[in-house]
Structure 1
Amino acid sequence: MGEKREGPRVRYSALSTQEDVDNDREFTSKNAHHEDLRYRFELREEIPWKSIALALFLLAFGSLFLVTSHFIFTAHMGGDSSQAYGFLVLGFLLFLPGFYETRIAYYSWRGHKGYSFSRIPAY
């Protein structure tokens, strides 16, 4: 009845001190010439021509479908509104990935910071 219940006993590690930080800096400065090969990763810089061709194809046909849906909606072309919605959906599905990868390829070709051909998947 009068028993006092204790919680679980957990051991905590000591907090780091300034001495630990100084020792760590000393260790890294001594071993700066050694590279940890586990974290080494090289990106290939070859140009993925097939992926860029696919991106241009998607961009061209997506643009064509979007323009076609616009012409059907504005009655410059014959067709039903359900056809226009189909062209609109297909146009967006083709245009968006094509524009995205074409933009990455263009900025990589121009040498903008943060863009490289390795960000485009190679097929």
Structure 2
Amino acid sequence: MEDRPRVRYSALSNQDEIWPEPGRGAYTEDLRYRYEPVEKVPWKSILLALFLLLFGCLFLVISHLMFINHMSGDSSQAFGFLVLGILLFLPGFYETRIAYYSWRGFKGYTYSRIPAY
């Protein structure tokens, strides 16, 4: 048998020592994962989102008017306006909604969720 030095190992900590229950330990949340972004309002991004939202709505209305023959135009033009309206409306609505909820102070919504340009 080989002669090995004897090494003493410390006892393993149990789960309560690593993650104490809220209210029992020294802290209630793990501060390593705490993130507080700087609340800087991205005005350019919000204006771009409003621009996309308004023009998306305008193109959707134009395509609707072309489909019901209230405006003159071919059906291929109406489909073009419909596709452009959808492509403009969706990101505009999404970012405008985030900006509105951030402005109103809803939990989970911050201006940091809007990309800044």
- The answer to whether TM tops 0.5 is yes
Which segments of 5 or more consecutive residues in structure 1 lack a partner in the other structure? 1-16
Q: CA deviation at 1:42?
A: 3.5
Structure 2 residue 110 is matched with structure 1 residue 116: yes
What is the TM-score normalised by the length of structure 2? 0.75
Per the alignment, residue 77 of structure 1 pairs with 71
Residue type of the alignment partner of 1:115: Y
How many residue pairs align between the two structures? 100
Q: CA deviation at 1:114?
A: 1.1
**Residue number among 40, 55, 58 corresponding to 1:64 in the alignment:** 58
- Report Cα offsets for 1:20-59 as digits up to 9, x if no partner: 2244358xx57x6xx876x564312110000000000000
Which segments of 5 or more consecutive residues in structure 2 lack a partner in the other structure? 1-11
Q: CA deviation at 1:101?
A: 0.3
Alignment of 1:25-104 (within 5 A): 29=25, 39=33, 41-104=35-98
Q: Could you tell me how far apart the structure 2 residues matched to 1:66 and 1:88 are?
A: 5
What is the TM-score normalised by the length of structure 1? 0.72
- Report Cα offsets for 1:49-93 as digits up to 9, x if no partner: 000000000000000000000000000000000000000000000
Over aligned residues, Cα RMSD in angstroms?
2.3
Percent identity (aligned): 67
Per the alignment, residue 105 of structure 1 pairs with 99
